[in-house]
Amino acid sequence: MDQSSSLSRIDWVARSCRLLAATAAEFRDTRPFAGLTIGTGIHLEPKTVALLMTLRAGGADLVCTGNLNSTQPETVDYLRAQGIKVFATQTRDPEEHGASLDAILAEKPDLLLDNGGDLFARAADTPYANLLGGTEETTSGRTRLIPMRDRLDMPILVINDSPIKQFAENKHAVGQSLFESYLRFTNRSTNGKRVTVFGYGACGKGTAACFRNAFSTVSVVDIDPVTTLEAHLDGFSTPLREVAIRSADILITVTGYPDIIAATDLPLIRDGAILMNGGHFPHEIDAEGFRNSPDVAGTDRYEAEQIETVRMRDGRTFHILGGGHMANLAGPRPLGNTIESMDLGFTLQARCLERVAKGGLGGEACVIPVPADIDALVASAYLDLAR
């Protein structure tokens, strides 16, 4: 043995992002970002580091900030140690976050990599000449930027609107990470458990499949009859909502809408049931409504586990994981979606930025989906590595 070394999670993630590593190797030759500065506003956590280092391999100067409430100090330290300029603090304060966004734009980056539209919305208000365009990661960012198209008038490619992102992350990765989170929070079995999944969109499909594969009996409740028919034909039971709640040992919401399980459902919830949410906002399970119900005698909290037990006056108890926040980003050691799904999504990011840097796209490409040839390129590259 020559040498051994002690490595961090950032190293583990970087070495697991094989597609980004291959892209970085190509970028070292092609240097698509030579002479350009990229301003980024995306969660500063280990998976993002792999993307940022790929952009730097392509010759980019980077100025980076994060999003509200998700900046990991170890990641910031790591990036700074690599000589990357970071303006970010772990904060829930929009003003403090706004100051970081302003600091990024004061550097007048040529390209922006945005997550939620924070940077582009500011650039629409205070335009500067050398901004070529960039990328937006999310649906919410797309919705925010569409009304600003006239003012932005530059290519902005929306990563969420790629079929790869839809099936690699929303379908497969969210299902897996919600399943992993159930085990991580509870250390309880899934075998023989009756699971009800609310919402059979991309995220619900993956979730239902993962629990079925783990020997649970899974039912699906969706408000849309066509989607419910799809669940039925996929082999899931599709009972009426009341029946589904009454029978479930595990209730999972992944709809994107509020009050999917609310205080009015308290009479239906089975003794011992576990409730968890995978939707973006912590409003799908009305935990506050439960606490305030006259039918509830009290609650107990397992602080370190982030499990709350609701005690009903009639003697039943049930448990809520992570206060109803996205379970895969809550609780002890939350890891989020799989590295491979982010490797794919972030390679789409790198390729889209490369496309914008090349020029050739104009204002007609303002807030549009990932071009189909980039989807094909990324899919082929991933398959090549997998063969």
Ligand X SMILES: NC(=O)c1ccc[n+]([C@@H]2O[C@H](COP(=O)([O-])OP(=O)(O)OC[C@H]3O[C@@H](n4cnc5c(N)ncnc54)[C@H](O)[C@@H]3O)[C@@H](O)[C@H]2O)c1
Q: Of 30-38, 187-195, 272-280, 379-387, which segment contacts ligand X by CB under 6 A? A: 272-280
List 200, 318, 346, 382, residue binding ligand X (CB under 6 A)? 200
Among 32, 39, 109, 278, binds ligand X (CB under 6 A): 278
Please, which residue, 170 or 190, has the CB nearer to ligand X?
170
Q: CA–CA separation, 299 vs 315, rounded Å?
A: 12
Q: Is 279 in the site for ligand X (CB under 6 A)?
A: yes
Q: Is 110 in the site for ligand X (CB under 6 A)?
A: no
- Residue 17 DSSP label: -
Q: Please report the DSSP string for 127-174 in residue order.
A: --TT--EEEE--HHHHHHHGGGHHHH-S-EEEGGGSHHIIIIIIIIIH
Query: Is 232 strand, coil or helix?
Result: helix
Report the residue number, 17 or 57, with the smaller CB distance to ligand X.
17
Task: Tell whether residue 376 is a contact of ligand X (CB under 6 A).
Answer: no
Contact flags string 219-258 toward ligand X, x per CB under 6 A: --xxxx--x--------------------------xxxx-
Shortest separation between residue 265's beta carbon and ligand X, angstroms: 12
Total residues interacting with ligand X, rule: CB under 6 A: 25
- Of all residues in the shown chain, the one whose CB is closest to ligand X is 201
On whether the CB atoms of residues 33 and 132 are closer than 8 A, the answer is no
Q: Is 201 in the site for ligand X (CB under 6 A)?
A: yes
Among 111, 174, 244, 248, binds ligand X (CB under 6 A): 174
Site string for ligand X, 336-365 (x = CB under 6 A): -x----------------------------
Which of these ranges, 16-24, 80-88, 199-207, 303-311, lies near ligand X under the rule CB under 6 A? Answer: 199-207
Q: Which region holds residue 198: left if phi is over 0, alpha if psi is between -120 and 50, else beta? A: beta
Q: Which of residues 79-98 bind ligand X (CB under 6 A)?
A: none
Return d(Cα 137, Cα 24) in angstroms, integer: 20
Beta strand pairing status for 317-321 and 366-369?
Answer: unpaired
Q: Which of 116, 199 has the CB closer to ligand X? A: 199
Q: Considering the complex, what minimum distance in angstroms separates the CB of residue 337 from ligand X?
A: 5
Q: Does 198 bind ligand X (CB under 6 A)?
A: yes
| Among positions 41, 141, 204, 324, the unique one binding ligand X when judged by CB under 6 A | 204
Look at the chain and count its residues.
Answer: 387
Among candidate residues 179, 174, 170, 176, the one with its CA nearest the CA of residue 274: 179
What's the closest the beta carbon of residue 181 comes to ligand X, in angstroms? 9
Backbone angles phi, psi at 368, to 5 degrees: -125, 160
CB of 359 to ligand X, least distance (A): 32
Alpha helices (H) along the chain = 9-16, 18-30, 46-57, 73-81, 94-106, 118-125, 139-145, 149-152, 163-164, 174-186, 202-213, 225-233, 241-247, 287-291, 339-358, 372-386
Closer by beta carbon to ligand X, 174 or else 269: 174
**Helix or strand (DSSP H, E) at 62:** strand 61-65
Sign of the C-alpha dihedral computed for residues 164, 345, 213 and 223 taken in this order? negative
Q: Is 302 among the residues that bind ligand X (CB under 6 A)?
A: no
Report the nearest approach of ligand X to the CB of residue 260 (Å).
5
* Interface positions with ligand X (CB under 6 A): 170, 174, 198-204, 221-224, 227, 254-257, 260, 278-280, 326, 328, 337
